[in-house]
Chains A and B, each alone.
Chain A
Amino acid sequence: MNDPDRLEQPWRLWASVAILSVFAFSVLFGFVLMPVMQGRAAGIDAFEAICRALGITPGSPAARQPTTNAKAQPATRVAWSADLLNSLTKATAAGESLAGSCAGCHGRDGRAVEVKLYPDLAGQSAAAIYKQLHDFKTGSRPSALMTPMVQALTEEQMVAVSAHFAAFPVRPIPAAQLPAAGAAIEGLVARGDSGRGMPACNACHGDQSGGPTEAPRLSRQSREYLAAQLRAFKTGERRNDIYSRMRSVAAPLTESEIDGLALFYASTRTY
């Protein structure tokens, strides 16, 4: 035992053997035995089951996948990417020339000619405009007026026209002040109503919100237009909201709350 090597040697050897055998056992069990047995029960052949267990092919070795061949029907076909969002920040000449055909309803400068029927586009987020154009085109948001208008637009043209209108300044608050919406409505905006499972409107539509990319700004749209959209979500007539967010928020709203919320946003500056 006085030879230092004789004291050291077994440690190096046996520690490595012990640790690597635990490893080998886990690999044998987890990479081979378990997937093969799980695969057999699910009708998946041994090779495919091992590939799935390793993560080389998708799916679980324990279940046949995909379980259905039905085609998914997403609420919208818009897929956000950094490039897309980046291109939406640049107003171009192409956008300006395309905007001519929108001006009849939405105005040259993005201020709608008939605010009760059509939304203002001036100062709206480009992502929100693009999302709606895309949805009109793909049928996610069918509209007798808009769907035919956007059919001919390419992806790039939709981006261009969205960026164009987003760049205009928002409409100033009308001189004749609207009545205040009241504390109950402001409570819904700021805190929601946990009793009815409703999140605060501010959670997505506030100026510091962490909401979805496509959440539009609401302030200074007309009361009539906002109320009509909330009612369309409430009845399910409009259904291009991902995860049914707006449909589930609008469903428990009462008629007077819808009008109150519409009034609130029509008369505020920052949302």
Chain B
Amino acid sequence: MLVTHARQLTFAHLWLAFLAFAVALVLGVWQMWARSPLPAPFVAASTYFSAVTAHGTAMAYVMPVFMIMGFGYYVAETALDRPLPAPRWAWSAFALGLAGALMATVTIFSGRAAVLFTFYPPLTASVFFYLGLVMVVAASWIWCVLMMVAMAQWKRANPGRPVPLAMFATVANAVMWLWTTIGVAAELLFQVIPAALGLKAQLDVGLSRTLFSWTLHAIVYFWLIPSYIAFYTMVPQAAGGRLYSDTMGRLTFILFLIYSLPVGLHHLLMDPQQSNAFKFLQVALTALVSVPTLLTVFTIGASLEIAGRLRGGRGLLGWIGALPWDRPLVLATGLAFLMLGFGGFGGLVNMSYGMNAMVHNTSWVTAHFHLIFGGTVVIMYFAIAYAIWPAVTGRAAPSLAAQRLQLWLWFAGMLVMTLPWHYLGLLGQWRRVATFNYADPIIAGWGPWVVVSLIGGVILLGSGLLFVLNLLQFNVSREPHAAAPGELYASAVHPPARVPAALNGFRLWNALVLVLMILAYGYPIAQFFVGDSPQALVHRVDERR
């Protein structure tokens, strides 16, 4: 059952996400051009930093938030097979988020928010930039509550039955997002917005950076979880097999909830305001994300092996060739795993204190998060959109070949862009810089690699535009879509008849997150309120001298 409000909600949310994505993509290519030795138009530091702010805001906040909300509404109706509770609230959230995104966009393009998308005072943007983003986050909070209510209502109607994995994972993400946004909300509410309004002339940047770190890592898992939902619930079905283990899926999403949060200090390894021991503690907890990651690689590997063998694959690795790689969801999963491998390796470097010291302020970091987020996560967003678009529009896909081409281009473009970019980081190319002096003999050697990276960016732009075109193709397709939307989800090899409450809800895990957060972040935050800590003068971007 996919009643009209989820269909329209998903349609509206995903289109908004992808429009923001398309605009940000164009800006991204221009930014790479500006940093390259090739002469680019409009190059000035102020234009560059406004463009980076717009690119980051669109890609890191607007696009994923609306994508996740839209996909969540879809899952809530199709996996639970019941109408969404309070669709009016969902539409209000959409309107609120849209208004916020527009407000932030106008502020950025009027040059009053060239502060990048990370909230690192004392440089502060116009207050409308922050208020706009607060509205986007508030919209996502409404979504979180709706997801939790939908699951609770289903549980009440189906006592003792396990919540379908896709919905369990969606709610895990909603719960995690509520925890995640506490850090940045506190930073904005008590520090940045008062500073932007001129109510505060000084603020403690150590505290702001610590609060932002609370949000900074978990937000990545928030982006990532829809991809994992697709891996666990949609990919085995698309490949023609079954999910190897439903329990592994539940454990994975629970572990993401727990280990996304008390780990943010690994973003502050070079910051002096936090001590070695707390950095060590949070890095150790960071390392545990390897557990859900490896669980997933194993479970999805096993699920695909089941599918491959059912399709006649033989021998140790023969099942890989027997998989239906012509199906976009399967292809995207293969490509996403490859990028996850490269990106995961880079991530291990970043979380290692000594190696991080070498790459911290270099392009390595930028390349890393583009590969992980832009690569692994976003390619799965494409595949999810392709998979659910027939149900959303009621029409069958006009061309799978165009979808496959788009996914391959994205993969190729991402590697061509990010691998040289990583290398440039190792050579010492710094990040957050508008232009380079290629006349300098040391920097001159970077030039060819930057140009290769730019070519990767251009391929990505082509792929992104093809993606938008592919979605538009559904509108001209005449062929109606027949299959029921619920058929998208795989059943497990052993479908769970009954699971312990611990694997069917989040009460226990919320308690454990609370304990871990108090232990890991309690003192690192409390220290700012004990004794005098140095204050920095607020610098407002939109203050005219």
Contact = CB atoms under 8 A, between A and B. Distances in A.
B246 to A, nearest CB: 16
Contact of A35 (B276, B523, B535, B545): B276
B501 interface: yes
Contacts of A208: 544-545
Interface stretch (A4-12, A90-98, A146-154, A254-262): A4-12
A23 B516 contact: yes
Interface in A3-47: 4, 7-8, 11-12, 15-16, 19-20, 22-23, 25-27, 29-31, 34-35
B508 A195 contact: no
B111 to A, nearest CB: 9
Interface string A81-113: 110011000000000000000000000000000
B466 interface: no
B494 to A, nearest CB: 16
A27 B502 CA distance: 27
B539 interface: yes
A61 interface: yes
Interface stretch (B21-29, B72-80, B280-288, B326-334): B280-288
Given A12-B502, A22-B285, A55-B527, A30 B280 contact: yes
B435 interface: yes
B280 A29 contact: yes
Interface string B252-279: 0000001000000000000000111111
Interface string B20-64: 000000000000000000000000110000000000000000000
Nearest to B509: A15
B519 interface: yes
A194 B439 contact: yes
B529 to A, nearest CB: 14
A39 to B, nearest CB: 11
B199 to A, nearest CB: 12
A120 B501 CA distance: 77
Interface in B281-302: 281, 284-285, 288
Interface residues of B, number: 41
Contacts of B45: 200, 203
A53 B276 contact: yes
A114 interface: no
A12 B512 CA distance: 10
B405 interface: no
A131 to B, nearest CB: 14
Secondary structure type dominating chain A contacts: helix
Contact of A23 (B123, B519, B524): B519
A7 B496 CA distance: 14
A248 to B, nearest CB: 14
Contact of B275 (A29, A53, A191, A197): A53
A80 interface: yes
A11 B247 CA distance: 13
B475 interface: no
Interface in B530-545: 535, 537, 539, 541, 544-545
A203 B545 CA distance: 13
Contact of A85 (B201, B275, B502): B201
A86 B537 CA distance: 12
B315 interface: no
Contact of A52 (B44, B275, B281): B275
B274 A210 contact: no
Contacts of A4: 501
Contacts of A209: 545
A63 to B, nearest CB: 11
A143 interface: no
A61 B277 CA distance: 10
A137 B275 CA distance: 39
Of B275, B515, B524, B539, the most chain A CB neighbours within 10 A belong to B275
B285 A11 contact: no
A26 B515 CA distance: 15
Interface in B334-354: none
Contacts of A52: 275-276
Contact of B274 (A15, A26, A55, A213): A55
A60 interface: yes
A207 interface: yes
Given A23-B519, A26-B284, A207-B544, A55 B537 contact: no
B434 to A, nearest CB: 10
B245 interface: no
Contacts of A207: 544-545
A54 interface: yes
A237 B379 CA distance: 59
Interface in A46-65: 50, 52-55, 60-62
A203 B515 CA distance: 47
Given A8-B502, A60-B276, A19 B512 contact: yes
B202 interface: yes
Contacts of B288: 22
B118 interface: no
Given A55-B274, A194-B435, A15 B502 contact: yes
B503 interface: yes
A81 B275 contact: no
Contacts of A23: 281, 285, 516, 519
A42 to B, nearest CB: 12
Given A27-B281, A213-B537, A11 B503 contact: yes
A210 B537 contact: no
A67 to B, nearest CB: 15
A66 to B, nearest CB: 14
B437 interface: yes
B90 to A, nearest CB: 33
Nearest to A60: B276
Nearest to B501: A8
Contacts of A53: 275-277, 280
Nearest to A217: B545
A250 B19 CA distance: 47
Interface in B125-155: none
Contacts of B440: 197
A20 B512 CA distance: 9
A208 to B, nearest CB: 6
5 contacts: A4-B501, A31-B280, A60-B276, A125-B545, A191-B44
Given A12-B508, A15-B512, A194-B437, 18 more contacts: A15-B502, A15-B508, A19-B516, A26-B285, A29-B280, A29-B284, A31-B281, A52-B275, A52-B276, A53-B275, A53-B277, A55-B275, A60-B276, A61-B276, A82-B202, A208-B544, A210-B539, A210-B541
Which A-B residue pairs are the 10 nearest by beta carbons? A55-B275, A30-B280, A82-B201, A11-B502, A26-B284, A53-B277, A194-B437, A195-B439, A31-B277, A82-B202
